[in-house]
Chains A and B, each alone.
Chain A
Amino acid sequence: MLTRGTLVIDVEACKGCELCIDACPPRVLTMGTDVNARGYRFPVLAPGCTGCKACSQICPDFVFQVYKYETPLELSTRREDLS
């Protein structure tokens, strides 16, 4: 999966509102099952991020840093390829 961007997610800042999930055009964010110190679930990232900033712009709690790779990466979507 061509991946142009990536995120740093401040999981402790997240309040689990899930606005980012629907805002993400390539739909690479899903809510995880872990919870942070305040008890909120937080998003996790799959390959395919485009660095479009939709998540960071719509997040009310400023949870995201968004990066754009100088050269897009090819990331595997198969679990078996996880190192």
Chain B
Amino acid sequence: MSDRSRIPLVPTGTPPSQPARLVDDFTPALVDVGAHHLCPGCGEPIAIRSLGEAIDEMALAQRTIAVFGIGCYTAFSNNLDVEVLQALHGRAPSVATGVKRCRPDSLVVTVQGDGDMVSEGLQEVLHAAARGESITCVMLNNGVFGETGGHMTATTVLGQRTKTSLEGRDPATHGRPILLADLVARLDGAGFVARCAVNSAGELARTHRALRRALETQLAGAGLSFVEILTMCPTGWFVETTEAPRYLAENLGSVHRAGVLKDVLAETDAAMR
């Protein structure tokens, strides 16, 4: 395919006429309506798709109660085919705690952004993790307050330009980012802690595995499970959508480093072998 202008195109307007099976549909599992008003290239719907598919694959939809924070992703709170409880900015972990303590058989998942979880709600997630609440906290981390227009959060990296750090985050004026997954992993009540991303197919596959592992951890009652997902925000980063995956890798990903930071289920497996 050396000359792209001469490639014969495959028709993509209608389903194939040759026998074929559908392996992935438009609207993801457990999402009601595919259309949303989030920006082109936004990583949040990608992460939410992965979460919905994990819940669906593990046949947990009829036990799930999702507790949403406030951010761009709140657009999905009335657009999901799982039960949803809308919480306030930063407050999902305590609300999720109340839900899970009263409904211990349910699968309780929080969906929060970095501004929500690390700026406004830092104490909530840390206390929930310390208590070892059997909930799964999912943080969509794009290093900005997206919904308000792109302002600095506690995870914004040094040098990152936002509307409240126009020259780039400067430690003397703005301090340094909080690496939340690392903090949570140090708490004994945390059972699974991972950081991943959605800027490439490979990273997305790791995200999906992490989400599944997090839900397994909750089902096993093995402590609080926490998945931090780095997502693209080309609008908040002042970059083209095509630039955003690389910006994520080079700027956020080099500070908030991907990996599984804690996995008590794996430790238990290893210990038993």
Contacts and interface: CB of A to CB of B under 8 A. Distances in A.
A18 B242 contact: yes
B22 A69 contact: no
Nearest to A20: B201
B46 interface: yes
B23 A53 contact: yes
Given A19-B245, A60-B43, A68 B8 contact: no
A65 B24 contact: yes
B14 interface: yes
Contacts of A66: 22-24
A56 B40 CA distance: 15
Contacts of A63: 26
B14 A57 contact: no
Interface in B19-68: 19-28, 31, 34-36, 38-46, 49-50
Contact of B26 (A25, A65, A68): A65
B102 interface: no
Interface string A47-67: 111010110111111111111
A34 B39 CA distance: 20
Given A7-B12, A44-B12, A46-B7, A62 B34 contact: yes
Contact of B45 (A8, A9, A30, A61): A61
B10 interface: yes
Given A22-B200, A68-B21, A47 B10 contact: yes
Given A16-B241, A68-B23, A60 B38 contact: yes
A82 interface: yes
Interface in A25-50: 25, 27, 30, 40, 44-49
Interface string A64-80: 11111111010111110
Contact of A69 (B19, B35, B46): B19
Contact of B204 (A7, A8, A57): A57
B9 interface: yes
B8 A69 contact: no
Q: Give the most central of B24, B38, B232: most A CB within 10 Å.
A: B24
A21 B201 CA distance: 11
B81 to A, nearest CB: 14
Contacts of A46: 1, 7-10
Shortest beta-carbon contacts, A-B, top 4 = A17-B41, A15-B40, A17-B241, A54-B201
Interface of B: 1, 4, 6-10, 12-16, 18-28, 31, 34-36, 38-46, 49-50, 198, 200-201, 204, 232, 234, 241-242, 245
15 contacts: A8-B15, A16-B40, A17-B234, A19-B241, A21-B242, A25-B201, A27-B1, A46-B9, A47-B8, A47-B10, A53-B23, A64-B24, A64-B26, A67-B20, A71-B19
